Amino acid sequence: MNNYKYFLGIFLALSFFSFGWVSHASYEPGKKIGKLSLLDKIKKRKSLNVVLLNGPSTYYIGTQDSQGFEYDLLKAYSDSLGVKLNITAVHTVKEALELSKSKDIDITSASIAKTVLREKKYNFGPSYFEVQEQVVCHRGMLGSPQFPRDVEELAGLSIVVGAETSYSETIKSLQNDGFDINVSLSEDYSTEELLSQVSSHEIDCTIADSNIYALNLRYFPEIALAFSISGREQLAWILPEGSEELEKDMYSWLNSFNQQGKMLQLKDHYYSYVLFFDYYNTKMFYKRIKSRLPKFKKYFEEAATRFSIPWSLLASMSYQESHWNPNAKSFTGVRGLMMLTQSTAKMLGVTNRLDPKESIKGGTKHIKHMLKYVPEEVQGDNRLKFALAAYNIGMGHVRDAQKLAVKLGLNKNVWSDLKIVLPLLSKKKYYKTLKYGYARGAEPVKYVEAIYNYREILDNGDIAILP
């Protein structure tokens, strides 16, 4: 019995000692032992769970797999964390807001504006984009008494906006202020779908954020901006409650992303082409997609396969050059679908510039040749843009622009910076110090931007209306 008590005493003593040692070993002064933060959980599970609105301004599956401004931004953030981006796609802002309450969701991204009412309901992370709400109406109403110029002129119009959007909040606030506005709220249609209905004049007007309107102009040329109905608003992601560490990390990352110029490049990629929107030209482009492109599409596809350049880019380049007119001729003597000079055609082995197949093959060989001279430091889609600029103005002037970019403290290897510099080649202050001298530098900028606008329509013209 005494032996039993003796061994029991030793066992209890050792147990208390072990517990005390383990507790001490895991203790750090000033640090509480608690639950893992959401940021720690994301890193541990190696995935960032995100709700993303399916649409042109946010996220869609395009010809180059997943695309969209908010998708690219979230992908860059998930890459910085070293985790996989796990997407749950939704089709309306209302769906996104409902899913944001799910315990498995880390971030909700749906072009969501921080409004006074929303900030009372949801926990917002850092702002990443500034927009204004805009009244958008059918272009055919322009010039008529029906086309509204202010809030008072909305009375009597057929207007639909999405339910539980910032737009519905704005309308309710105006109605409370005594304005006579009869607006229907839709739970079924996205903002892009409502813009489509405006374009086909099923409804008179809707409301959309300025970035959404700008992106959709190329898909729906029959829409027109009436007026801005709100002040400037900030778009931000919704985060779960208790995600302080994640929010701090996002602020830090976003600040670095901005300072490195990556945000500017991303905005330039998605929004720069809207500055070159031309209603008549876009309208004609859609017509010619049906009437002219089918005759030559197989030649573009053959050249694309042979030279590893997207067919839609070749077709867009050809449209910019000749509007897909195989007999096109300029006053300088360039001819055909790809508008080749006689000397360039001879160099490329093109015997008949008016033969569509030969012209497309020759033009593609020429752009492929230009790509070889683009410096290796120029990466990704920037390479094609540099090559197109060289196709238009000559590689010597592109190299001059790169040198000037360095002097001006800009990045010589990205298109978003080079297109700032190129127009300066027409100013004596700058071109007199450069090897190749004067050039109409604004022309290659318009040339490249127009081509990429056409390419976007050819690649993704069907994504504006979502199932």
Where do runs of H (alpha helix) occur along 38-92?
A: 38-45, 69-81
Cβ atoms within 10 Å, residue 13:
10
Say if residues 192 and 56 touch (Cβ distance below 8 Å). yes
For residue 280, what is the DSSP state?
A: H
446-456 exposure pattern, b = at least 16 Cβ within 10 A, e = fewer = bbbbbbbbbbb
Say if residues 191 and 162 touch (Cβ distance below 8 Å). yes
CA distances from 467 to 50, 97, 207, 346, 363 (A): 20, 20, 21, 49, 38
User: Alpha-carbon distance 236 to 349, whole Å?
Assistant: 54
User: Alpha-carbon distance 444 to 396, whole Å?
Assistant: 13
Number of residues written out for the chain: 467
Round the CA-based radius of gyration of the chain to a whole number and report it.
29
Where are any strands of DSSP class E within 55-173? 60-62, 65-67, 84-90, 107-109, 123-138, 159-162
What end-to-end distance do the CA atoms of the chain give, in Å? 81
For residue 272, what is the DSSP state?
A: G
Looking only at the bridges linking them, the beta strands covering 47-53 and 107-109 are parallel
Residues with a known catalytic role? 321
For residue 333, what is the DSSP state?
A: S
3-state secondary structure 364-388: HHHHHHHHHCCCCCCCCCHHHHHHH
User: Alpha-carbon distance 333 to 57, whole Å?
Assistant: 42
The dihedral built from the CA positions of residue 6, 10, 11 and 12, taken in this order, carries a sign that is positive
Where do runs of H (alpha helix) occur along 150-292?
A: 166-176, 191-199, 210-216, 244-259, 262-271, 279-291
Where do runs of H (alpha helix) occur along 115-200?
A: 116-121, 166-176, 191-199
Cβ atoms within 10 Å, residue 163:
15
